[in-house]
Amino acid sequence: MATMNHVRLLCAVALFAGCVGSESTPGGKPGGTLAISIGGDPDVLIPSLVSTVQAAQMVDLVYDRLADIGDSLNVVGDAGFTPRLADSWTWSPDSLSIAFHINPRAKWHDGQPVRSSDVRFTLQSTRDSTLGTPVAALITNIDSVSTPDSATAVFWFHKRTPQQFYDATYQMPIMPEHIWKGIAPAAWRASEAAKHPIGSGQFRFVRWTPRTAVEVAADSANYRGAPKLARVVWSIAPDFPTALTRFLSGETDFFEVLRPENIPEVMKHPNLRVKTYRSLAYLFAQFNLRDPANHARPHPIFGNRELRRALTMATDRATIVRSVYDTLALPALGPTVRAYPTTDPNIRQIPFDLPRARLILDSLGWRVTRSDGTRSRNGRPLQFTLSVPSTSKVRIRLAVLIQEQLRQAGVKVDIEQLDFRVLVEKERKRAFDAAIGQWNTQPSPGSVRGSWGTPGSHASSGTNYGSYENPVFDAYVDSALASFDPGNARSYFTKAYETIVQDAPAIWLAEPRGIVGYNARVHLAPLRSDAWWAHIPDWWVAAGQNTP
């Protein structure tokens, strides 16, 4: 009948169009689905508030920055940066302002054009104390954004610094003013808009089914062109083993947090591959320097610098790292990574010296009095709780190893496993004793100001959870960041790192390499150290795989 022939014809045309419309790439047509295995939901999909790696991936695909940092991660000036929402920019002669020209074709996913007022709004909200973003402490050099016209956003700076451009672009994916203006910042997290983010990126948000999946789809009308993938889906598993098994069984294509012990397993599958890259992450066991019960007082145990140094001395960090990571991590040097050109790998460390640690503890008055070997002083045992997220087996392993090593020194450590978000809450409220944390740092070594500097301690939204405050450290870091000469910057940073290492506000544990596993059907682009997902728009999977 007529209708049937009509339908058949349409199908044939569709097939034919599929064949003709693709790019000519080797090994199959792109346009497939990339399925990423993750072990937990994102925390929030608002760019300035993101604190989990999962959320960062999703936000970076849906939202755009004015310009993207180059793969070399250069943060001085604008060398290497590629245009995004801003298709060009002009420096003022005195370098106190940069005028960004917004790409006229840039549109939000709801069709509205991207305007300079969006840029100004983003800066203002990122600074809003009621919103409480962790980034606020890092952009203090930016004075304001002015909008001479709807296509030009001018950033004004307090002073010239090497990282002006980086500060203006890296820290702030641009958010749509017309959507967020009407909502009070304090209500942003719980708002409906947070559950359906509208951005300008090459992928548009599709859905977030809690505990099951997050999905974004290609924005074919994007000003930068359509990405090679049709969809990206994050398959959320309740825990690491399930997430890993989904990857191994082929249900998903990509797994980002492979551990060294999983590699032999992955290599057994002929169609799975492993790739390592230099990441910008470091792990540490952080002490709360303030009394959790009363923030005005120092912590009864960790308030004492000598005791913290003794605890560090009692820990054999090199062995712990070898045990947990095999060769895929180095002992951390301090709150930094070796990838920074300003990091000197020969920073003076506190050596592993158990006998000396015991002597120091004795001299501080902590004597071994109890039957189980735990020290005590004035009736108070040398005992504390070490909190770790229950989802991170790596940190649990580190905790158990530390527990046993400190037991040798007469310190009793109780390990507390918590849901990741609950742990972050505890840290924000400074209601913990010690915790094992990990920072995936930014390309700029200046991010240490937020996590270990005094401003990050005072602000309730700051990430200096241990409340380490040393003006000498702050001064060195600020001097380093203000130096245009790389040699000077490096020597200032070295002094800063040595100061904090000797103060021992944390036991610096490991600097792991990033390890990802992927299915051979995924064609990767180079993995950027700070964000392996940065070039996902250039990845592709042959069409037909997991495609609806």
User: Which residues contact other proteins by CB under 8 A?
Assistant: 33, 35, 44, 132, 186-187, 189-190, 207, 209-213, 233, 235-242, 245-246, 248-249, 251-252, 261-262, 265, 319-320, 322-323, 385, 390, 393, 397, 399-401, 403-404, 407, 414-419, 421-422, 425, 429, 546, 548
Cα(411)–Cα(312) distance, integer angstroms: 12
- Which of 439, 446, 428 shows the shortest CA–CA distance to 493? 446
Rg (CA), the chain: 25
| Shortest distance, position 70 Cβ to other proteins, whole Å | 33
For the beta sheet containing 142-149, the strands, ordered from the edge strand earlier in sequence to the opposite edge, are: 86-91, 97-102, 152-157, 142-149
Q: Where are the alpha helices (DSSP H) in 105-216?
A: 116-127, 164-170, 177-180, 192-195
Cα(113)–Cα(110) distance, integer angstroms: 9
| Shortest distance, position 240 Cβ to other proteins, whole Å | 6
| Shortest distance, position 81 Cβ to other proteins, whole Å | 33
User: Is 102 in a helix, a strand, or coil?
Assistant: strand
Tokens of residue 393, six digits: 């087996």
Cα(443)–Cα(75) distance, integer angstroms: 7
Write down the residue that tokens 């037991």 correspond to: 407
Cα(181)–Cα(121) distance, integer angstroms: 8
C-beta closer to other proteins: residue 102 or 386: 386
* Integer CA distances (angstroms), 521 to 215, 369, 379, in order: 20, 62, 63
C-beta closer to other proteins: residue 252 or 312: 252
| Shortest distance, position 429 Cβ to other proteins, whole Å | 7
Cα(342)–Cα(441) distance, integer angstroms: 14
| Shortest distance, position 298 Cβ to other proteins, whole Å | 23
C-beta closer to other proteins: residue 240 or 493: 240
Cα(485)–Cα(183) distance, integer angstroms: 44
| Shortest distance, position 534 Cβ to other proteins, whole Å | 23
C-beta closer to other proteins: residue 376 or 383: 383
Cα(531)–Cα(539) distance, integer angstroms: 14
Write down the residue that tokens 């017309």 correspond to: 178
| Shortest distance, position 30 Cβ to other proteins, whole Å | 17
| Shortest distance, position 352 Cβ to other proteins, whole Å | 14
Cα(526)–Cα(539) distance, integer angstroms: 9
C-beta closer to other proteins: residue 220 or 363: 220
